[in-house]
Amino acid sequence: MTIDSSEPKGESGLASSTAFHPGEATVKQIHYEVVIGIEVHAQLKTNTKLFCGCSTQFGDRPNTNVCPVCLGMPGALPVLNRRAVEYAIMAGLALDCDVRNTSVFSRKNYFYPDLPKGYQISQFDQPICLGGHLDIVVDGVKKRIGITRIHMEEDAGKLIHQGSDTIAGATHSHVDLNRACTPLIEIVSEPDIRTAQEARLYVEGLRQRLVYLGICDGNMDEGSLRADINVSLRPVGTEPFGTRTETKNVNSFRSIERAIHSEIARQTQLLTAGERIVQQTRQYDEATQTTRVLRDKEESHDYRYFPEPDLYPLVVTSEWIDTIRAALPELPEAKATRYRDAGLSDFEIDVVLNEPETSQYLDQCIGAGAVPKDAAKWVVGDLNSLLKETKQSFKESKVTPDGLVQLLGLIQSGKLSGKMAKEVLEKCVQTGQSPDAIVSASGATQISDTGELVVVVDRILDANPDVVEKVKNGKTNSADFLMGQVMKETKGRAKPDLVRSLILECIARR
């Protein structure tokens, strides 16, 4: 029997293999459909934790942002952070979910040193949001990914093991509870995803939305956004899901794709060999680019969820939801439509929408009177590269949106050529001066005054009668030489298209 399952056909949503079935005389080709569901944990960007007043600042000295509540001291009680609720509602509205008027926090019970209370407060059977969706575009085709639910929960702390990567081999382990009790939302997708690419697009789309809402910093390196990926295979055309594995805490887009590829390959190989998939929790290892088992289902916890008696059910009034809806910022999809209508290219739209501050910058330019397409050209092009070179972000750019609009005005009125504008912009990025200031200091505006230029053109024509003759005889290419001379004489400040037409006019008149 021949097996070729090392290369999963992940991108097609199919994994194929040739499997030998005992008792059958023939070797049969089975195609598997990949089914993927993703749970994304997003840390909400509140200043304080979910149930206490401690700072959520990342990277502070261990155990400095803690108090009796998040340390799980006896006698301490949780008090819900309303801002976190507001953020969860925003996420729900942005993903077209049904925001529930009543939701319930429960206790999820298990022992681990990073879990101070011995239970995690998490919404369970009555989450804050139900049923929504996110649209992704796969190779130009729109695809809708269903969202089952969004629930709120607190994060656990962090363990730092000494002498080993895991607690098992460690000589001792340190517990840092700065992260304990920080607010998270968990966004659970329907099993609608079929390929690693779709998975990536889905998580990218989610991230973009949360970042645009301003409720999550989207920083995957710091763990602000992490994905648990459920993968299963089923023979194409069959309805029931195959046994799934869950790969925990994947924290980069590339890892998401790789983890899925690796898991598809592994499962395909097992199925092909006639083995069963074991329901497992797995972990992705970036070094080997494979997943390894964390625990089997048999070892899985009975979390003994029950309603958290320290918190009454969370009541969200319809009025509150309406207020939040009314104040929602414009989301990427709406922005894209607006930009497209204003004539931006798909490429420009992609670049502009990549970071909220870029699109905010462009919108400020538009607000200050810029033609969207003209402004986008600079935002996506020269300004973007200049900022990258000088390690500035759009938010802290030395060229303000007003500055860029000024520059566009100078081009528009013919005072600057494109080339000159680029030089001015460079100076702006370096010095922080406005384009107007730079131009008036150097006096180096473009000469677009016909009277002034005619004098120069005539002088050049007088000095080069032979070239003039050539042009007259139809060698229009030779006009380029004359043009170069005029530009040289004006130190590049002459408006090129004006110069060209003046040269031709003057020659014609001779």
Partner 1 sequence: MTTWRSSAVELGKAFRNRSVKVADVVTSLWLHHDQVEPSVKSYLTTFQSETMAQAQVLDAQFDRGETLPLLAGIPIAIKDNIHVQGVPTTCASQILKGFIPPFNATVTDRLQAQQVIVTGKTNLDEFAMGSSTENSSFHTSLNPWDTSRVPGGSSGGSAAAVAAGQAVVSLGSDTGGSIRQPAAFCGVVGMKPTYGRVSRYGLVAFASSLDQIGPFSRTVEDAALVLEAISGFDAHDATSSPRLSESYYSSLKPTVAGLKIGVPKELFGSEIDPGVKAQVVAALDLLKANGATWEEIAMPSLKEAVTTYYIIAPAEASANLSRFDGVRYGYRDGGADNLRDMFRQSRGGGFGPEVKRRIIIGTYVLSSGYYDAYYTKAQKLRSLIVRDFAHAFQKYDVIMTPTTPSVAFKLGEHEANPLAMYLADIATIPVNMAGLPAISVPCGLDQGLPVGLQIIGPAFGDQQILNVAAGFQELSQFPTRFQSPLMRSTQ
The correct pick among 41, 107, 244, 266 for binding partner 1 (CB under 8 A) is: 107
The one-letter amino acid at 165: D
Residue labelled with tokens 């920083």: 219
Query: Least distance (Å) from partner 1 to the CB of residue 87?
Result: 19
The piece of 8-16, 77-85, 132-140, 356-364 that touches partner 1 (CB under 8 A) is 77-85
Query: Least distance (Å) from Zn ion to the CB of residue 355?
Result: 31
Do strands 245-250 and 280-285 pair parallel, antiparallel, or not at all (unpaired)?
parallel
CA angle, 493 as apex, 490 and 495 as ends, to 5°? 110
Q: Which of residues 65-104 bind Zn ion (CB under 5 A)?
A: 67, 69-70
**Whose CA is closest to 362, among 347, 384, 385?**
384
Query: Least distance (Å) from partner 1 to the CB of residue 302?
Result: 5
The correct pick among 34, 38, 44, 54 for binding Zn ion (CB under 5 A) is: 54
| Tokens standing for residue 310 | 């320290």
The piece of 114-122, 195-203, 264-272, 284-292 that touches partner 1 (CB under 8 A) is 114-122
C-beta of residue 52 within 8 angstroms of C-beta of residue 65: no
76 binds partner 1 (CB under 8 A): yes
| Tokens standing for residue 454 | 């005619």
The correct pick among 22, 23, 75, 451 for binding partner 1 (CB under 8 A) is: 75
Query: Least distance (Å) from partner 1 to the CB of residue 43?
Result: 22
Size of interface with partner 1, in residues (CB under 8 A): 30
Q: What is the spatial distance between Cα 472 and Cα 455, in angstroms, rounded to a whole number?
A: 20
CB atoms within 10 A of CB 172: 9
CB atoms within 10 A of CB 319: 8
432 binds partner 1 (CB under 8 A): no
Provide CB contacts within 8 A for 168, sequence distance 6+.
none
Query: Least distance (Å) from partner 1 to the CB of residue 81?
Result: 11
Query: Least distance (Å) from Zn ion to the CB of residue 226?
Result: 22
Q: Which is nearer to partner 1, 69 or 483 (CB)?
A: 69
C-beta of residue 388 within 8 angstroms of C-beta of residue 351: no
What is the pattern of x (binds partner 1, CB under 8 A) and - over residues 308-347? Answer: -xxxx-----------------------------------
Q: Which is nearer to partner 1, 76 or 504 (CB)?
A: 76
What is the pattern of x (binds partner 1, CB under 8 A) and - over residues 254-283? Answer: ------------------------------
The one-letter amino acid at 21: H
The piece of 48-56, 78-86, 190-198, 402-410 that touches Zn ion (CB under 5 A) is 48-56
The correct pick among 44, 54, 80, 499 for binding partner 1 (CB under 8 A) is: 80
Provide CB contacts within 8 A for 461, sequence distance 6+.
468, 482, 503, 506, 507, 510
| Tokens standing for residue 424 | 């001015």
Query: Least distance (Å) from partner 1 to the CB of residue 156?
Result: 12
CB-side neighbour CA atoms (13 Å) of 418: 7
Q: Which is nearer to partner 1, 32 or 124 (CB)?
A: 124
C-beta of residue 425 within 8 angstroms of C-beta of residue 378: yes
The piece of 198-206, 306-314, 375-383, 488-496 that touches partner 1 (CB under 8 A) is 306-314
Q: What is the spatial distance between Cα 8 and Cα 267, in angstroms, rounded to a whole number?
A: 10
The piece of 78-86, 318-326, 369-377, 491-499 that touches partner 1 (CB under 8 A) is 78-86
116 binds partner 1 (CB under 8 A): yes
52 binds Zn ion (CB under 5 A): yes
Query: Least distance (Å) from partner 1 to the CB of residue 257?
Result: 34
109 binds partner 1 (CB under 8 A): yes
The piece of 12-20, 22-30, 52-60, 490-498 that touches Zn ion (CB under 5 A) is 52-60
Q: Which is nearer to Zn ion, 107 or 335 (CB)?
A: 107
What is the pattern of x (binds partner 1, CB under 8 A) and - over residues 27-66? Answer: ----------------------------------------
Q: What is the spatial distance between Cα 508 and Cα 496, in angstroms, rounded to a whole number?
A: 19
The correct pick among 130, 175, 277, 368 for binding partner 1 (CB under 8 A) is: 175
| Tokens standing for residue 112 | 């681990």
State the DSSP code for 193. B
| Tokens standing for residue 153 | 């929960």
Q: Which is nearer to partner 1, 299 or 319 (CB)?
A: 299
- The residue length of the chain stands at 510
Q: What is the spatial distance between Cα 418 and Cα 433, in angstroms, rounded to a whole number?
A: 19
Q: What is the spatial distance between Cα 189 and Cα 477, in angstroms, rounded to a whole number?
A: 64
Q: What is the spatial distance between Cα 456 and Cα 449, in angstroms, rounded to a whole number?
A: 11
Do strands 280-285 and 290-296 pair parallel, antiparallel, or not at all (unpaired)?
antiparallel
Q: Kindly provide the b/e burial profile for residues 259-292, where b requires at least 16 CB atoms within 10 angstroms of the residue's own CB.
A: bbbbbbbbbbbbbbeeeebeebbbbbeeeeebbe
The piece of 140-148, 189-197, 299-307, 465-473 that touches partner 1 (CB under 8 A) is 299-307
Query: Least distance (Å) from Zn ion to the CB of residue 392?
Result: 36
Q: Site residues (CB under 8 A) for partner 1?
A: 68, 71-80, 107, 109, 111, 113, 116-119, 167-168, 175, 302, 304-306, 309-312
Residues forming the site for Zn ion (CB under 5 A): 52, 54, 67, 69-70
